[in-house]
Amino acid sequence: MAADIAKTAETTLLPERMATPEIRIRPGGRALDLGLAPLLTHRELLYFLAWRDVKVRYSQTLLGILWAVLQPLAAAGIFALVLGRISALSPTGLPYFAFALSGLVPWVFFSNAVLSGANSIIASANVVTKVYFPRILVPAAAVAAGLVDLVLSSGVLAAFLALRGVGLALDVGRLVGALGALVAVSVGVAFWAAALNVRYRDFRHALPFLVQLGLFATPVIYPASSLPAAHRTVLLAVNPMAGIVENLRAGLFGIPVSAEVPGVWFAVASLLVLLTGAAVFRWVEHGLADVI
């Protein structure tokens, strides 16, 4: 009798013992993995996402890709009309329009990268919520799409300098380093902005104001030497874009970099912005599909 009861109990419990195990798929990687690897391992997808953004941006527009060069040109023209007669705002022998345009070309790329990167996840909600792929590719592609604008506007700057006969120093090493730092800080801030914009939707209302404020806190339309000495160190040392703009002008025209921009700190700061932005985005990424 006892044997029959034990056999019945074993038969009853058998389905529970043989239940299909639950399998959980989690992202692998080490503790220090910031999630930047997909930018290389999925570079083809990154390319197609960036090319999609380029086509969407200029589709059904009257002037098309010419908008990429009109924005910095128009801004430089306005600033030249308003501020060009102030001799202290332009180094000796350099037309103010060239001075302003050389700062606006990288700044327009940076500002467009941050604004488009901030809205990229929400704009791609229909894809993000249905198909799995590394989400970090979306804001990175938004920044990569802006490289087309940067190349075109840089070509216009070079053409203007050649037509005006402006003497160039062409420090290639300094130019390459500054451009690399520009891309790094743009991608990093785009990661920050995309993560914050998903979590806090009112962030998109504050971001354009912050970007506009950054224009006047960075020596784009004025030389760093014109800043008050009491505030110069704070504004330049903690702002990686200040070092980037200063070093780009130094590489083009040989203008000395302000003493308040400490060495290669702008490059180190840009790398820190990139790494921290990737870490924050990776932290937010796990719940993107639920809150988007």
pLDDT tens, residue by residue, 93-108: 788 999 999 999 999 9
> What does the DSSP assignment read for 61-95?
-SSGGGHHHHHHHHHHHHHHHHHTT-GGGS-TTS-
Q: Kindly list the domain boundaries of the chain, sorted by start residue.
A: 35-291
- Say if residues 68 and 159 touch (Cβ distance below 8 Å): no
180 phi and psi angles, rounded to 5 deg: -60, -40
Residue with tokens 């704070």: 234
Query: Would you give per-residue pLDDT tens digits along the chain (292 residues)?
Result: 445 544 444 444 444 445 555 555 455 444 345 678 888 899 999 999 999 888 888 776 666 678 778 889 999 999 988 887 776 677 767 889 999 999 999 999 999 999 999 999 988 888 888 888 889 999 999 999 999 999 999 999 999 999 888 888 889 999 999 999 999 999 999 999 999 998 888 888 899 999 999 999 999 999 888 888 777 777 787 889 999 999 999 999 988 888 777 677 888 999 999 999 999 998 888 776 666 6
Closest Cα to residue 100, out of 92, 90, 110?
90
Tell me the CB-side half-sphere exposure of residue 190, using CA atoms within 13 A. Answer: 30
Q: Do 137 and 45 meet the contact criterion of CB atoms below 8 Å apart?
A: yes
Which residue type does 135 have? R
Find out whether 163 and 98 touch, Cβ atoms under 8 Å. no
Rg of the chain taking only CA atoms, in angstroms: 25
* pLDDT tens track for 147-205: 999 999 999 999 999 988 888 888 999 999 999 999 999 999 999 999 999 888 888 88
Say what the pLDDT of residue 259 is.
76
HEC string of 23-56 equals: CCCCCCCCCCCCCCCHHHHCHHHHHHHHHHHHHH
